Amino acid sequence: MNFEPDEVTLHVAQTARDFAAQYIKPHLMEWDEAQEFPLHIFKELGKLGMMGILVPEKYGGAGLGYFEYNVILQEISKVCGSIGLSVAAHNSLCTGHMMTFGNEEQKQKYLPKLATAEFIGSWGLTEPNSGSDAGNMKTTAVKDGDDWILNGTKCWITHGKSSDLMVVICRTGEPRAKDSSTAFIVDRGTPGFNAGKKENKLGMRASETTEVIFDNCRISDSNRIGEVGEGFKQAMKVLDGGRISIAALALGIAKGAYEASIKYSKERYQFDQPISNFQGVSFKLADMATEIAAAELLIDLACDMKNRGVPMTKEAAMAKYYASEVAVKVSTDAVQIFGGYGYTKDFPVEKFYRDSKLCTIGEGTSEIQKIVISREVLK
């Protein structure tokens, strides 16, 4: 297998790198401190095709593949994990669900607006009492004539307040019963569809995370995605692709922390020499480089399989699991290399450290990835 990037991949990576340096880097700490979701940044990314990376050109998207998606997320996340997370959630979850399972009328109506960031999308599966246990969700959709009435609360929703529409998975049958959930599109402004509490988070603070509350929210049956009872199966397939995006996000954070560490270790002098000369530092850098390279190969393998349309549940879970754990380890070692300065907000690695932890939790914890992987290898 040859994972050498082609001209298109190199070009989009450079475009993302330049954008992050010019528009994100100067403001990332003020957004982080204020927990500001910089909506205008995503509108600008939409103009570059980076909010509809995988969407076919006929729907106004960039029509690119997973290698391009991977490098875009990496380059943005090397500067700011929060922006990378929101780009991933918009592309993989809401837009990805619509693109994969929506009917032609839904695609024509929503994909062009999502692909250009005229609309920001959100996606809802998790609830206060059913995180990994998604089969026990309490949010319901009850048929009423040609409509559905939604009631319940979703939590940890990226863009839960600022999104223009949401793809939400609701229970349409008995709890834990097979085929008991269904996916729906809910437009912002629909009565009974409201944002709840905004979370005050350790990291990823510029990526908006809120509750979403449905209170007798009435939507048309035309807003249903796929057949009744297919929602959970659809969500699991969407999360396969989503795991690649979180892996790419994690790898970007790891690379950002690593590159900052390399630079600092050459500039910081102790005992009349750069600290990179000391084995305690140089061995940390060696471990970082090795683990980053291994994570990158796992992600490239998953991207290649996804592009070819072959099953990649195991490979996506492996990439997500390993890359996210690497991000935490690399950013932790980066803080150690920076010493006291690494513990301050004047240097970049403390933010990489805070942002990295989400990657081991979101879109399936590391423990859930191990369950997925073990099931696949034991088949």
Number of other CB atoms surrounding residue 304 within 10 Å: 18
Nearest residue to 312 (alpha-carbon basis) of 361, 373, 368, 367:
373
Tell the residue number behind the tokens 């912002």, with chain if given.
188
Which helix (H) or strand (E) element contains residue 215?
strand 209-220
**Of these residues, 68, 208, 211, 363, which one is catalytic?**
363
Characterize the bridge pairing of strands 140-144 and 273-274. unpaired
Beta bridge partners of 127: 130
Nearest residue to 255 (alpha-carbon basis) of 20, 6, 4:
20
**Interatomic CA distance for residues 50 and 43, integer angstroms:** 10
Nearest residue to 223 (alpha-carbon basis) of 180, 170, 172, 187:
187
Please say if 36 is a catalytic residue.
no
**Interatomic CA distance for residues 319 and 244, integer angstroms:** 7
Which DSSP string do the residues of 102-161 spell out, in sequence order?
A: --HHHHHHHHHHHHTTSS-EEEE--BTTBSS-GGG---EEEEETTEEEEEEEEEEEETTT
Question: Which CA distances in Å does 182 have to 148, 212, 229, 334, 356?
Answer: 11, 17, 5, 44, 32
**Residues 6+ away with beta carbon under 8 Å from 185:** 98, 102, 106, 110, 165, 166, 167, 219, 223, 225
Asked whether 78 and 256 are in contact (CB, 8 A), the reply is yes
Number of other CB atoms surrounding residue 277 within 10 Å: 14
**Residues 6+ away with beta carbon under 8 Å from 229:** 172, 173, 179, 180, 181, 182
How far is residue 358 CA from its own chain's centroid? Answer: 10
Active centre residues (catalytic): 363
